[in-house]
A and B are shown apart, each in its own frame.
Chain A
Amino acid sequence: MADTYLLQLLLNGLVIGVIYALIAMGLSLIFGLLGIVNFAHGEFYMLGAMLSFFAVTDLHLGYWTTILAVTLVAGCVGVFFYHLFLSSLRAADFERSILLTLGISMVLQNGGIYLWTVTPRIVPTPYSYAAVTLGGMQLPVLRLFTLGIATAAFLALYLLLSHTLVGKAMRGLSQSSDAAAMVGIDHRSVARLAVIIGIALSGLAGATLAPVYSVQPTMGSAFVFKAFAIVIIGGLGNIAGAAITAIMLGILESLIGGFFPLTLADSAGFIAMIVVLLFKPEGLFGRGVRV
């Protein structure tokens, strides 16, 4: 019995961890290439979840179609987001970039509360109550799907960064923008692609997690604060570091939450961030876009 409980906690932690990873990797990618900390990142996760609620309830789209559609829409939003706001910022405009993305986050979150109120909404799917029984353990199908989708996204991002020319350009740009410009890498189009990928991953995370938990406009800020801790612990701009840290944090939180008061689980990420900053300020895995 105790073993099942522990395994259940591990599974829940892993599911949350991979979702953290999707958000934190996008955040890290955008920071690595544009030098911008996107404070509005969590709101795209919230919008992804909200959009999937409306896609399922109003448009009657299926589970997989919804996730695919929301990810594509999020990618398109990324194009606008880059051209309207981020393209005019330079890495030296550090305050402007933070305040600008913070302002966007305020508009999206409070506009969301104004339009949709804070009442939690449930996204119905055909798999909502389905579960696989394995060795006396109940494995909800939706959580298994989440794991699968996130793993597929990790693989896709890994292949893109390590096996394609544009991935090489991204890694080069994050190492030295001058050297990248010298060999003819177009900074703007690579940066735009990074923003599109980052926002699409956030939307994907929202659409995937929406049926597992409930959906409401304030869900983004709670998540992005975990993602910040993850990005700092993993090393600013280090994508693989962010993914590993995210999964560790998800599991850690779940285990702490299973045995100790809830406050401690919520604080775990923050405490880990402060400890890492005090003893290893560059992050556990160092800096730079790496895979």
Chain B
Amino acid sequence: MRRRPLPLPASAAGIAAIWLVLLCVPWLTASEYWLDTGIAIATFAVLSTGLNLIYGYAGLLSFAQVAFFGLGGYGAALLVTRLGWSFWLALPAAAIIATWAGLLIGYSSLRLSRHAFAIVSLSFALLCGIVARDWVALTRGSMGIPGLSLPGFDAPAHMYRLTVTVAVILLLGFHVLLSSRLGRALQAIKLNEPLAQSQGIDPLRYKLLAISVSAAASGVMGALFVFHLTIVDPSVFDFYYTETMLIMVILGGAGSFWGVIAASAVFSIVPDLLRFSSDLRLTLYGLVLVAAMLLFPGGFAGMLRQRSLLRWKTRL
């Protein structure tokens, strides 16, 4: 049913080429606006690919991606400002914090049902926002933790190159993972869990692995993102990120690697150009989500795939 993925060396070469092109962008434009947009695209590409791994491949609807992102951001910010850690140590620590959170909600809820996972992940994301706002002694509440800076990466172009490089490495990692045994096992679990189990695949272990990987990547991007903004406040847990990620994954086509990355780019650029206010934007996203669920549940990429499947069937 799925098209065969590109052979690994070819797509690795493709990704490396894209990376080199992206690194050259700061020479073409000095506009900070476009560099910020580039950082947003890179961040959302990793976040929504992380959601795609959990939802599109493993079939688990996770609303906790924004929590992993925000925990990475707060974790790194607190380690650097309170404990005086170097950012380069705080970055893997952010990944570890996010992974632990992912394992906690995954292990506790997956033994019950997929419904429970969706509910627990949403509650966790909302709780993180509330705790960040109310635990003033640790997080300074809604004032946030300002003054985050990364020595040696003060210029916008430096931060842009760093974010793009990390994002490309993470996306490459996702790609390798998805074309490996893990990706196939996840798809087998999604298609038919009892059958996969009978082949010796332990669904819980693979699902937890997918959640950890996705959480770790989101945590890393969160740490980078707050150091790009130079401040972290409770808005990093905003539901806006969850909704945007969902739109990217669903319209890009859950389970389609490049579809979701393309959708990340489109949905990072277009709403900004249209200059909608955030509540109007989210209302429209909601309408799009409702329409997508009623009309084409597989997303655009899913629709194209279905159409090619239909053509293939008629040819037989």
Contacts and interface: CB of A to CB of B under 8 A. Distances in A.
Contact-size category for A: 35 or more
Interface string B111-154: 11111101110111011001100110000000000000000000
Contacts of B120: 232, 273-274, 277
Nearest to B130: A266
B287 interface: yes
B240 to A, nearest CB: 9
B314 to A, nearest CB: 27
A7 interface: no
- What does DSSP make chain A's interface, helix, strand, loop or mixed? helix
Please indicate which of the listed interface residues B104, B127, B131 has the most CB atoms of chain A within 10 Å of its own CB. B127
B290 A277 contact: no
Contacts of B285: 103, 106
Interface in A236-291: 236, 261-263, 266-267, 269-270, 273-274, 277-278, 281-282
B202 to A, nearest CB: 18
A37 B118 contact: yes
Given A114-B280, A236-B115, A277-B116, A225 B122 contact: yes
Given A106-B243, A106-B289, A225-B123, A94 B283 contact: no
Contact-size category for B: 35 or more
Given A225-B123, A225-B126, A273-B123, A100 B290 contact: yes
Contacts, number: 125
Contacts of A39: 122
A278 B108 contact: yes
B248 interface: no
B200 to A, nearest CB: 24
A274 B105 CA distance: 8
Interface in B12-63: 55, 59, 61
A137 interface: no
A103 B297 contact: no
Contacts of A179: none
Nearest to A265: B134
B112 A282 contact: yes
A218 to B, nearest CB: 10
B273 interface: no
Contact of A102 (B126, B277, B287, B289): B289
B293 A103 contact: yes
Contacts of A181: none
A114 B279 contact: yes
Nearest to A270: B127
Contacts of A88: 294
A96 B111 CA distance: 21
A113 interface: yes
Please indicate which of the listed interface residues A31, A95, A109 has the most CB atoms of chain B within 10 Å of its own CB. A95
Contacts of B176: none
Contacts of A96: 293, 297
Given A94-B115, A277-B120, A282-B112, A261 B135 contact: yes
Nearest to A100: B293
Contacts of B300: none
Nearest to B239: A221
Contact of A98 (B108, B112, B118): B118
B283 A106 contact: yes
Contacts of A281: 111-112, 116
Contacts of B293: 96, 99-100, 103
B286 A106 contact: yes
Contacts of B124: 270
Contacts of B114: 94
A114 B122 contact: no
A221 B294 CA distance: 23
A214 interface: no
Nearest first, the 9 A-B pairs at minimum CB distance are A106-B286, A103-B289, A107-B286, A103-B290, A110-B282, A100-B293, A281-B112, A113-B279, A277-B108
Interface of A: 31, 37, 39, 85, 88, 93-96, 98-100, 102-111, 113-114, 221-222, 225, 228-229, 231-232, 236, 261-263, 266-267, 269-270, 273-274, 277-278, 281-282
Interface of B: 55, 59, 61, 104-105, 107-109, 111-116, 118-120, 122-124, 126-127, 130-131, 134-135, 239, 243, 246, 250, 277, 279-280, 282-283, 285-290, 292-294, 297
